[in-house]
Amino acid sequence: MSDYLVHFTKRPALLSILEAGHVDARNQFGWGRNDTSTAHLRMSACLSEVPVDQIERIASRRGHYGIGFRRDFIQGLGGARVWYAEEPQRTILFDTFRPLYRNDRDRTNGLWKLTPFIDDVRPEYDFTWEREWRVPGGVRFALADVQFLILPRGEDKELFRNPAPDVPLLSPQGTEFWRDAWVALGNDQDRDVDRFLREYANPADYLTWDHEEYDYTWPVEGQTSAEAVEDVFDAELDYEAQAELVSRLDGISGGLWLKISAFEEWAADADLGV
């Protein structure tokens, strides 16, 4: 989400957060959760740098209400991205922490302070797409720190304008969110991302993953971020804007994109009903 991070929640919780000026650290997250003596280090508030094309997906999972902050504000509170360790890094972590459990009785080793930001990939659910950030101790904020609120359609906006006047109110629906976000927040790149996602999709949303080939099964040719940006914008963007957009899109999908019209044409020919 570029410069912004969102804490997704439910309606009563968002009202409580605005009243208190604090996103509570109610749960323990991270590596070593069985170590009770360091549990306080892992009590964290969670936010998401969710990819722009996944806003509806994460809202459905975490809650259709949200509060958005600038990324540099969260970093200033000690927040950081979560690292999801896969093999062989997972085994290296086990080997690193095993002697600490036995020998570092006072838990003074600095590695313990990193544990809120480390998790392993679970076979039953891959959390990596959520682009999670964590803030040990929670997020204490002033109203001026709030960049926007996310509210579903039909919500009583006046109810939220009372505790948060002048804060932009955005929808959790993907297209509406990014259309409104770039208008409310003045970010031209969000406008360009919104336009791009009308023509290209993250392959993770359409294609199956081949575990043997360690790649998606591509029925049509994929395009790199640079190729897709050139296709959508032609010569409209200057070199710097194009390079920044490509970099951002690389971070969303890993650098490869599926052209929606080409996939839909293939699906129609294959009679898949997509």
Q: Which pTM does this prediction carry?
A: 0.66
Residue 51 has pLDDT above 90, yes or no: no
Query: pLDDT digits over 129-178, tens only?
Result: 678 899 999 999 999 999 989 888 788 888 888 888 888 888 776 556 65
Mean pLDDT of the chain: 86
Distance, first Cα to last Cα, the chain: 28
Long-range contacts of 252-256 (CB under 8 A, 24+ apart): 252/51, 252/52, 252/53, 252/202, 253/51, 253/202, 253/203, 253/204, 253/225, 255/224, 255/225, 256/203, 256/216, 256/222, 256/223, 256/224, 256/225
CB 11 within 8 A of CB 54: no
Q: What is the pLDDT of residue 1?
A: 47
Q: What is the pLDDT of residue 22?
A: 97
The domain limits of the chain are 4-169, 199-269
Query: pLDDT digits over 57-81, tens only?
Result: 667 777 789 999 998 999 999 999 9
